[in-house]
Amino acid sequence: MISININPDTAVQLIVGVGSTVLAALLMLIKIPQSEYSVKLTNSKMAIVMSFLICSFMMFYSMSQFGREDIWDWEMFMMLSIYIVVHFSTSIISYSMIALLKTEKHKRNNLFVPGLFVSAVVSFMLLESYKSQNMNYFWFMCIVALTAFLIQSITYIVYFDKAYKHSVKELENYYDEDESHKLKWVKFCYVITMLTNLFILVYLCLYWFLDYKMEVASLYTIWYLLYMLYLSSNFISFLGSHKLVLDAVAHKVLDGSAFPIRTGGRKKKEKQHEPRLSIDREFDRLDKSVEEWVERKQFCEYDKTRDQVAAELNTTKEVLNLYFSSRVGVDFRTWRTNLRIEEAKKLLLENEDASLNIIAEASGFSDKSNFHRQFVKIVGCSPRQWRDSGGKPSL
């Protein structure tokens, strides 16, 4: 039977252990709507829960070891415990973040289980070497553990970077406006994860040179709890308010386009001989539809996919892309962005008391920073400069 010692020296472990348990329970209570893609979201959620539960277990385990004769340096043992948590979380959080970004099978699936196995073996041997009080054996295991941790971290950073770039590309291909900022929290959380992991390595390497070992160890442990809270809140926010990102990542599964209908050679040949006249007629019809679409100022409606815009124009995404590339001479995204900027220029002068956030949203930009960036790029000055100069910034 495990006996947990509760006293001032183990108060930090108690706080972190209870906190991580509560966070794990809260995430467990969140239900994700069923779909093929939501299975991966559920896996991501459960991976984070697993990481938090490992943290809880190690905190309570370290409390149970307080005061034992084989625990010859309590501060070192406490940091070894949190190191083990970090070692496991490197694999688990990396898997979770990559699972949020990717829909297809990825090499992470081949690395996740072996990574956990290596973490478990290294952690067990590290604790055993510490309790043996054989310093040569202990320092050898420390070197092995740090080496394994560095290799593991670098490997997952490489795979995460590939997954992130791929997901941003998918987002750009699915939406006709810049929505990459909706994924930045994932990258930021992962950077915080790796910096948190790096600090534990620095601490262990500088352990013997520190004067306030217990204070630093306690501070880091509290920081780790805050990190878990931050990660949980962002994950919950992603599920609740970033639906367009889920759409972009999962659209091939949800709309059935992951299983394209293959046509035979005969049909393909017939399609190649369609008269050019039918395309011209379709483009003539689109001229009128696009003109009416602009008059209704539907270009000011943001968070719309290409398929939705094509449906409003009574055509397909492929025909719409062909229309803009061959007849208009510019891609749809650039064309619509220019319309939005022109609308914003008018609104800025007509509504001098309106905030830039309101102007940005009214002209079709879902993000103020993107609005400012596009305005400067096209107009050559900031929205505020445009308004203050009365539409004549160069004078």
| pLDDT of the chain, 395 residues: tens digit per residue | 455 556 677 888 889 889 999 999 988 888 776 655 567 778 888 888 999 999 999 888 888 888 777 787 877 888 888 888 888 888 888 888 887 776 444 444 566 778 788 888 888 888 888 888 888 888 888 888 888 888 888 888 888 888 888 777 766 655 555 556 667 778 888 888 888 888 887 877 777 777 777 788 888 888 888 989 988 888 887 766 544 444 444 433 333 333 333 334 444 444 444 444 577 788 888 889 999 999 999 888 877 777 788 888 888 887 888 888 888 888 888 888 899 999 999 999 988 888 888 998 899 887 788 888 889 989 989 999 999 888 888 75
- Specify whether 147 is located in the same domain as 83: yes
Same domain for 136 and 16: yes
Task: Check whether residue 60 and residue 156 sit in a common domain.
Answer: yes
3-class DSSP string for 45-113: HHHHHHHHHHHHHHHHHHHHCCCCCCCCCHHHHHHHHHHHHHHHHHHHHHHHHHHHHCCCCCCHHHHHH
3-state secondary structure of 381: coil
Are both 234 and 290 inside the same structural domain? no
Same domain (yes/no): 211, 318: no
Token pair recorded at residue 382: 């900031």
* Number of compact structural domains in the chain: 2
| Residue 395 belongs to a domain | no
Report residue 54 as tokens.
């490992």
Domain region containing 121? 8-254
2 within a domain of the structure (yes/no): no
Q: Are residues 158 and 201 in the same domain?
A: yes
| CA pseudo-torsion sign 186, 188, 194, 199 | negative
pTM score above 0.75: no
* 195 in any annotated domain: yes
| Boundary residue ending a domain (254, 284, 312) | 254
**87 plus 222 within the same structural domain:** yes
